[in-house]
Amino acid sequence: MRSTVEVRRQIPSVASIGILAIAFLYVPLMTVLVFSFNRSEDATVWGGFSTKWYSTVLHNSDLIRAAKFSLSLAVPSALLASLFAAGLAIGIGVVHSRRIVLLQMLVNAPLILPEIVTAVGTLALFSAVKIPLNFASLLAAHVALCIPFAFLPIRSRLRDLDPAIFEAAEDLGASSRRVMLRITAPLIIPAVFSAMLLTFIISMDDFLTSMFLSGPSTTTLPLYIFGLLKLGVSPEVNVISALLLVIPTVGLLLSVVWIRKRGK
């Protein structure tokens, strides 16, 4: 495409801004990664390569406990949210009545509403109807937060499917239950897996909802880490942040590769 090349020559400054923007996004992350291997006791001064802070972190029992708790919360959150979101995408179809559009807006509100609003709202609701702050109430809040993120990939998958498949099934007399189990479900399984992965990350990362709704026995990993961060920089937090950087990124990239392979 010659014209594109010419335009690129005419607006060369966009390239430099673009490259700077990518650098701006990655320099901080790379810094954390590099300094997680710092030998020094001083978090910000380089003192040679070492993995000693990794072993310190992996032996921190409070951290491990918080991580385990977050896992025990994120796994059911992701499963339930993806299941409910799949039900939502299947049940409301493509064309909606006005009532459903309104309800759907509520379900999808966490995509745009500042999280602090739903978080304090849920706290106020729980206190008004005397629901105790425990694992179950935290799980319910996480599921509600996660559903819209699970809904997106599943709905976009359903929209890409050929409507003729479903018309044929209906013409041949399949009940809507049979259509769901035999046709829709197998076709959306890859999207449901994506949904589970995304919502797992969202639940693992969630800070605000957990902060307002955590009881005495429900310290999530982000809550524990926030407590450390409040104290300032430290070699241990370098390592924790590096792990939080690497694990979801690798997971996400692997799943992109896996889904592409499956798609072929």
Partner 1 sequence: MKRKSPFGPSGVSYPALTMGLLLIGAPLLVVSLFSFLKRGSFGSGVVYKFTTDAYSSILIQTNLIGQHSLNTAYLSIIWRSIVLALSVTVICLLVGIPTAIWIALQKKSVQKILIILVTIPFWVNVLARTYAWMLLLADKGLLSQIGGPTLLYTNWATLIGLTYAFLPFMVLPVYAVAEKMDFRTLEAGFDLGASGWRVLFKVLLPTLKYGILSGIAVVFIPALGAYVQPSLLGGNKSMLIGSLINDQFGDSRNWPVGSALAVLLVLMTIFALGTFKFRGRFGRSATVPQDLGGVE
Assigned token pair, 242: 């590096």
Tell me if 195 sits within 8 A of 154, measured CB to CB: yes
**Is residue 101 close enough to count as binding partner 1 by CB under 8 A?**
no
**Is residue 47 close enough to count as binding partner 1 by CB under 8 A?**
no
Residues with Cβ < 8 Å from 259, sequence gap 6 or more? Answer: 190, 193, 194
Strand pairing partners for 38? Answer: 49
**Nearest approach, Cβ of residue 218 and partner 1 (Å):** 16
Tell me if 203 sits within 8 A of 142, measured CB to CB: yes
**Is residue 191 close enough to count as binding partner 1 by CB under 8 A?**
yes
Cα–Cα distance, 252 to 258 (Å, whole number): 10
Using CB under 8 A, which residues numbered 158 to 187 contact partner 1? 158, 160, 163, 166-167, 170, 176-177, 179-181, 184
Contact region with partner 1 (CB under 8 A), list: 47-55, 59-67, 71-79, 103-111: 103-111
User: Of 96, 101, 136, 254, which one interacts with partner 1 (CB under 8 A)?
Assistant: 96
**Is residue 69 close enough to count as binding partner 1 by CB under 8 A?**
no
User: Of 39, 79, 207, 236, which one interacts with partner 1 (CB under 8 A)?
Assistant: 207
Cα–Cα distance, 255 to 189 (Å, whole number): 14
**Is residue 76 close enough to count as binding partner 1 by CB under 8 A?**
no
**Is residue 134 close enough to count as binding partner 1 by CB under 8 A?**
no
Tell me if 149 sits within 8 A of 195, measured CB to CB: yes
User: Of 71, 75, 79, 259, which one interacts with partner 1 (CB under 8 A)?
Assistant: 259
Cα–Cα distance, 238 to 32 (Å, whole number): 6
Using CB under 8 A, which residues numbered 16 to 35 contact partner 1? 17-22, 24-29, 31-32, 35
**Nearest approach, Cβ of residue 68 and partner 1 (Å):** 17
CA angle 181, 186, 189 (to 5 degrees): 120
**Is residue 132 close enough to count as binding partner 1 by CB under 8 A?**
no
Tell me if 52 sits within 8 A of 39, measured CB to CB: yes
User: Of 41, 44, 51, 215, which one interacts with partner 1 (CB under 8 A)?
Assistant: 44
**Is residue 45 close enough to count as binding partner 1 by CB under 8 A?**
yes
H-run or E-run covering 17: helix 13-35
**Nearest approach, Cβ of residue 263 and partner 1 (Å):** 3
**Nearest approach, Cβ of residue 172 and partner 1 (Å):** 13
**Is residue 75 close enough to count as binding partner 1 by CB under 8 A?**
no
Residues with Cβ < 8 Å from 255, sequence gap 6 or more? Answer: 193, 194, 197
Cα–Cα distance, 207 to 120 (Å, whole number): 13
**Is residue 62 close enough to count as binding partner 1 by CB under 8 A?**
no
**Nearest approach, Cβ of residue 57 and partner 1 (Å):** 13
